[in-house]
Amino acid sequence: MSVIIGQKEYFKGIEKIKFEGVDSDNPLAFRYYDENRVVAGKTMKEHLRFAIAYWHSFCGDGSDPFGPGTHHYPWDVASDPRQRAADKADAAFEFITKIGAPFYCFHDVDAIDQSNDPKEFASRVQYISDIFAKKQAESGVQLLWGTANLFSNERYMNGASTNPNFEVVAHAGAQLKSAIDATIKLGGRGYVFWGGREGYMSLLNTNMKREREHFARMLHTCVEYARRNGFTGKFFIEPKPCEPTKHQYDYDSATVIGFLREFDLLSEFGLNLEVNHATLAGHTFAHECQVASDNGMLASLDANRGDYQNGWDTDQFPTDIYEWAEAMAIVLRQGGLAGGGINFDAKRRRNSTDAADLFYAHVGGMDTIARSLLIADKILTHGEMDKLKAARYASFDSGKGAEFEQGKLKLEDLYQIATEIGEPALISGKQEYLENLLGRFV
């Protein structure tokens, strides 16, 4: 990948970020992420498939519910929407190539201003995706996934695909069509559904059953359209329990998998799991990953972290090697992410107003995850942890335990067996031992 600068260099004074190793004192160098280093049979680049999120990094202005934006972007000044979009693309690909991420992700409205006229908006998306295509070709950067923003426009205030008003559902469909078209054109590896308004503010005015059915209907409609038009990637659903709604239908891994199974959508979909959404749902990130992996649905990750003392989606950059080492071990065990990558759905703090802060943030995030991959690899190579876990279940690998698994025992048989074997010995779960073992590799 080569750094590409557009009409203007936006991040002057910052060169391509290099790997310098753990002893480096350079805050603008990688200490762990060495894209060509081979771990468990693949390069780090192939394992991690890092992607930059267009929205936070090139659109997010630092606003929060108590104040407007603090990040003022030099690429966000032209008055013509098409020109502004092109300038932003210049900045984006400059950053992506300087940081050295092989992928990026975007919502339609990140790329170019929305228009309430579906035709005009489709034309704008076409315009900017042509530019993206050229940038991709020039740089070697690829599209991890595309998506449509069906939550910001005021028309979606009561839901998009789950809006009680069919007219809004039609507009959601229109936007989905154009975003899918762009994703196909750009060779996106996946297409993501995140249903920010697909939930309810109050049960008093909501028919949850009908709304969920509409959501499933829209997913089927999109799959049919995308496949017919040559999309060969994966569809992803990104669970989140709440915010901006009180309750969002794609609550967590288990809920989404249940939904996909109910509406016969399992085979086309995988999950895109976000750390902060896991913790908002009351789960560890590892839990969400394991649930998905157990179902063959762990496909892609949104990298960030939440704040355990704050109850909203803080989307901070990842820093915790425990959190990520456990996740990467699950990914390694299943042989890699199924179709997706690791996308930085993370934003600088509102008061991180230097241009360099965007680089620090991503350098820290990429290093955290690269280091965690190394830890996970050490855990699996060492092997004791997985061996101990497997050994706990050995009684089901043969004999009566195996017969139980195969459904050959009746309840009377279990009663009979229990009577014969007497009281089983207590077998320690060895949790502290295993925590120490994990700590050894961290």
Whether residue 107 lies in the annotated active site: yes
CB of 238 to Co ion, least distance (A): 5
345 is in an annotated binding site: yes
3 binds a second copy (CB under 8 A): no
SS3 at position 283: coil
Q: Is 238 annotated as a binding residue?
A: yes
Q: How many other CB atoms sit within 10 Å of the CB of residue 113?
A: 13
Instruction: Rule CB under 8 A: say whether 335 interacts with a second copy.
Output: no
- Residue 403: C-alpha distances to residues 52, 389, 415 (Å): 50, 21, 15
> Tokens representing 296?
């063959």
203 binds, among Co ion, a second copy, none (CB under 5 to 8 A by kind): a second copy
Cα torsion 34, 40, 41, 43 to 10°: value is -20
Does 313 show up as a binding residue in the annotation? Answer: yes
214 is catalytic: no
Distance (Å, rounded) from C-alpha 252 to C-alpha 371? 27
Catalytic annotation, pick one of 110, 181, 252, 377:
110
Q: Is 181 annotated as a binding residue?
A: no
Residue 66 binds a second copy (CB under 8 A): yes
The 284-303 contact track toward a second copy, x by CB under 8 A, reads: x-xx--xx--x---------
Is there binding between residue 309 and a second copy (CB under 8 A)?
A: yes
Assess 367 for contact with Co ion (CB under 5 A).
Answer: no
Residue 6 or 340 with smaller CB distance to Co ion:
340
Residue 68 carries which DSSP code?
Answer: -
Inter-residue contact 257 to 295 (CB < 8 Å) = yes
The C-alpha atoms of residue 376 and residue 332 are separated, in whole angstroms, by 8
> Which span sits near a second copy by CB under 8 A: 36-44, 81-89, 133-141, 171-179?
171-179
With left for phi above 0 and alpha for psi between -120 and 50, is residue 205 left, alpha or beta? alpha
- Number of residues written out for the chain: 442
Query: 315: annotated binding-site residue?
Result: yes
Binding characters for a second copy, 9-48, by CB under 8 A (x = yes): ------------------x---x-----------------
Of residues 209-238, which lie at the interface with Co ion (CB under 5 A)? none
Mapped onto helix, strand or coil, the DSSP state of residue 314 is: coil
> Is there binding between residue 351 and a second copy (CB under 8 A)?
yes
| Contacts for 38 with CB less than 8 Å, ≥ 6 apart | none
Residues in region 197-216 near a second copy by CB under 8 A = 197, 201-210, 212-214
Helix axes 321-333, 431-441, angle to 10 degrees: 100
Which residues within the stretch 246-285 sit at the binding site for Co ion (CB under 5 A)?
A: 274, 276
Residues lying near Co ion in the complex (CB under 5 A) are found at: 274, 276, 302, 313, 315, 345
Q: Which residues are identified as catalytic?
A: 107, 110
